Structure 1
Amino acid sequence: MVDTDVSRSRTPQRSLSSRSWAVILGGAILPVLIIAAWQLTTALGVFTIAQLPSPEMVWTAAVDLFDRGLLTLDVAISTQRVIIGFVIGAALGLGAGALVGLSRASDILLAPTIGALRAVPSLAWVPLLLLWLKIGEESKITLIAIGAFFPVYTTVTGALRHVDRQLVEAGRAFGLRGVRLFTTVQLPAVIPSVISGLRLALAQAWLFLVAAELLGASMGLGFLLSDSGTNGRLDRILLAIIMLAVLGKLSDALIGLLEKWAARRWS
């Protein structure tokens, strides 16, 4: 009986911060407080309706657009654009980052030009893409891919330059070369940096989406922002901002699942 008690006392206890329900509740505290403060200020007349619509008004606008099928369509279109552009940009960023990070010659030839292009603001690409690709899906997805490319490229390049040389030499001693060396030794060593780059790239993808849809779209959340601003519908503007925040957080949570899988796969 004593042995059983001792073994139980030695069983590691999960901390409160590691429990899923505690994490969810903790993360919900600040949004709830913000909504409560928002409701309170509008109820007390601190802001006029023209300055800040109440949460109820924003909810009513959401229900109206949803009933007409417009909100679902805008969300679906924007999400599709982000996913396609993100996948293309992240894949190209991973390839270019690996090339520059592993090859001194590629570093000399490509790094200065890519670094200069990285400094170009997102809106500067819009007129050029509209002239080249017209107002269609191609121009929007290309702009989103540009936004997703640079964070992945930057983090992968920097991480590969700092991979332990002894680890690389050990891989070569086992006969690994080229692509096999990269996928077996170097890529697993920089997985945390790659995941960080993907998170930044996804955030950039949503930012570039709004830039694309503000100037050349007839559907999507960016178009909802622009159209609502033109019509003075502040309730719909706030709705679009909230939807972008929610979708951005949900997509970031998916990257978090990928991070956990990668940690189990290569730990």
Structure 2
Amino acid sequence: MTTTVSTPAAVTADEDEAHRVRRRRRLSPGRRLPAARLAGPVLVVVLWAVASAAGQLDPGAIPAPWTVVRTAGRLWADGTLPTDVLTSLERAAYGFLIGLTAGVALALASGLSRVGEALIDGTVQLNRAIPTLGLIPLFILWLGIGETFKIAIIAIVVYIPIYLNTHAALSGIDSRYVELAEVQGLSKFRFVRQIVVPGALPGFFVGLRLGVTGSWLGLVVLEQINATSGLGYLMFQAQNYGQSDVILVGLLIYGVFGLVSDSVVRLIERRVLAWRRTLSS
């Protein structure tokens, strides 16, 4: 029976390697704790509360956090806030889904075909150069003042970053993978499914995060244009009556929606792109 004895040098080398692996995993972006993202917002709220309690803030301009909470409770109890929140969520969801579909479809058509790139990319770049909110008067003439033009503008705000980042990722596929696919005799469909799509996913998720944020930024402006409900309408009415606490309620809800939606996208990204962390470790 043979007994293997580990020398001190071998043990030290194994410990060093294990330490390097643990360090790489700690430094990997996928290892960040979701709760850590709340540290900044919580610190801002604490400083806001301390300044309000110390009398350093004008209550008429910046009400105390507890005042904003009481106002939110009152608006929720009388049914105003639930209705406006649901309306805003519905507008954002429709616009986001349309923009997501358009951005991915156009990016695939442009990134996988030279003819598609010639027809699509220049048009999207032109659209990108035009301020999206500057299209509002034209869209009102085309689609009317109702819900349709609001959803259309949100869709434009969403599709542009998704298209740009996905298209860039598709165009940046390493040529060595193309050569490898030719050597392996992969069909075009298998090449797209097994190499192109996985390679473009990191860029797609970058565009998706920007698109999610853009949908809320566009919504806060659009809901103040001839709207009868929604968080933006609530804030616009509060401005007319000098109700800064109501305005802060709307802004905080928009911020929570943005943070939650971005966190959801990041969670999906970590699940889908788990293979990148495996390779890096």
Tell me the TM-score normalised to structure 2 length.
0.82
Shift of 1:54: 0.9
SS, match of residue 52 in structure 1:
coil
Aligned to 1:84: 94
In structure 1, distance between residues paired with 2:36 and 2:219:
30
Q: Which has the larger radius of gyration?
A: 2
- Structure 1 residue identity aligned to 2:246: R
Aligned to 1:142: 152
Aligned to 1:176: 187
Shift of 1:156: 1.1
Relative to structure 1, is the Cα distance of residues 264 and 24 closer, same or farther in structure 2, using a 3 angstrom cutoff?
A: closer
- Confirm whether residue 34 of structure 1 aligns to residue 49 of structure 2: no
| Worse-superposed segment, 195-204 or 27-36 | 27-36
Which of these residues, 127, 152, 158, is aligned with residue 168 of structure 2? Answer: 158
- Cα deviation code 1:143-194 (max 9, x no counterpart): 11001010011001111111012223433543422x5532332111111111
Report if the CA contact (8 A) 1:213-1:222 is conserved: yes
Identity %: 32
| Worse-superposed segment, 187-196 or 121-130 | 121-130
- Structure 2 residue identity aligned to 1:64: R
Report if the CA contact (8 A) 2:161-2:207 is conserved: yes
- Taking only aligned residues, the RMSD between alpha carbons, in angstroms, comes to 2.8
In structure 2, distance between residues paired with 1:63 and 1:224:
15
Report if the CA contact (8 A) 1:17-1:23 is conserved: no
Relative to structure 1, is the Cα distance of residues 109 and 16 closer, same or farther in structure 2, using a 3 angstrom cutoff?
A: closer
| Worse-superposed segment, 107-116 or 199-208 | 107-116
| Worse-superposed segment, 73-82 or 164-173 | 164-173
Aligned residues: 260
Shift of 1:240: 0.7
Shift of 1:26: 3.2
- Structure 1 residue identity aligned to 2:66: E
Which of these residues, 194, 198, 203, is aligned with residue 208 of structure 2? Answer: 198
In structure 1, distance between residues paired with 2:185 and 2:85:
50
Tell me the TM-score normalised to structure 1 length.
0.86
- Confirm whether residue 106 of structure 1 aligns to residue 116 of structure 2: yes
